[in-house]
Amino acid sequence: MFLPTDSKLFFKTVRKELKLLRNSLPPGIWVKGFEDRMDLYSVMICGPEKTPYEDGLYFFDFQLSADYPKAPPVCHYISYCSDRLNPNLYEDGKVCVSLLGTWSGKGTEVWTSNSTLLQVIVSIQGLILVSEPYFNEAGYEKQKGTQQGKENSRMYNEMVVLKQVQSLTKIILTPPPIFKEEIFEHFRLHAYKLINRLETWLQISERYNNTHPLSPTTPTSFRELHGEAISSAINVHLPEFPLIPASKGFCLTLRKTLVSFREVLSSLGILDNTTEGKLDGVFKESEATQQQQGAVKDATSS
């Protein structure tokens, strides 16, 4: 049985926390508690836009310590893939955030008795699920701005995208019971968009790789040279983080992974034949537009 060290302070703080969570929770975050255990909370976070984590789902369990709020809560990340898809999220559940005392920090970055559970959750969403997670690894920030750093970041983002689709496939098959309803609603709203976005990025990368087999380019220069023409031709924006053009190995693996993902969604009635037809139609329309305008072909061969 959970017994706080200072019951009066603990329950007073928890009441404030709950009010804060009800009124100030940002979009893309769900928090659920338990009537008989005021120290336990389950959290689901949707990956932020304009990052390789976009439309992904990430789960965390929190337990408030007996000394709360003098001591930070304990956080456990629930992994759905092998290895790490972020330097700060470990397969064994460890979460590296300065507010939790699991990462170095100073000033407002470290926990005080005035810190809140909401601050920790927002930190995970905003400081961990970022556009270039490669540089979250200790010591890697010094590579920023270098050619090697850009390529390493791009390769890491390839890994993130692959592991995210693999994770989502497992999540939809074995969803955490506490968020099952929210998870299925998320897939109904976002699965089509996610698959369409990834398929489009694959087409762009494969076309570039086929026409430039011996001419590698950096993601930054690719966006500068071809981004506007490609976006106009197929009405989609290139990712703002390093990824495109993706490697051939990534394209092959992601295509296979997406097949499994779509099959699972279809088997559960989330992605029906009508939706899949819409996806195919988008790609065919893109091809027709490119043939008429020649924008992508001209841009990637310049």
For the stretch 72-100, pLDDT in tens is 999 999 999 998 999 999 999 999 999 99
On whether residue 138 sits in a domain, the answer given is no
Among 30-39, 94-103, 104-113, 222-231, the range scoring the smallest mean pLDDT is 222-231
Residues 206 and 254 in one domain: yes
Same domain for 284 and 208? yes
How many domains does the structure of the chain reveal? 2
> What predicted TM-score, i.e. pTM, was given to this entire model?
0.85
DSSP labels, 11-80? HHHHHHHHHHHHHHPPTTEEEEEETTEEEEEEEEEEPPTTSTTTT-EEEEEEE--TTTTSSPPEEEEE--
In the predicted model, is pLDDT for residue 294 greater than 90?
no
Q: For position 300, what pLDDT does the model report?
A: 45
Q: Are residues 173 and 285 in the same domain?
A: yes
Q: Range of 14's domain?
A: 7-130
Mean pLDDT of all residues in 185-210: 93
Query: Of residues 46, 75, 81, 96, which has the active-site annotation?
Result: 96
Q: Would you say the C-alpha torsion 171, 176, 177, 183 has a positive or negative sign?
A: negative
pLDDT of residue 261: 97
Same-domain status, 290 and 177:
yes
Which has the closest alpha carbon to 154: 228, 236, 223? 223
Which among 104, 130, 156 is the end of a domain?
A: 130
Residue 98 within a domain: yes
Q: Are 155 and 289 found together in one domain?
A: yes
Q: For residues 36 and 182, state if they share a domain.
A: no
The verdict on 68 and 208 lying in the same domain is no
What sign for the dihedral angle of Cα 46, 47, 49, 54? negative
Give catalytic status of residue 96 as yes or no: yes
Residue 2 lies in a domain: no
For residues 70 and 113, is the Cβ–Cβ distance under 8 A?
A: yes
| 124 residue type, one letter | I
Does 15 map to a domain?
A: yes
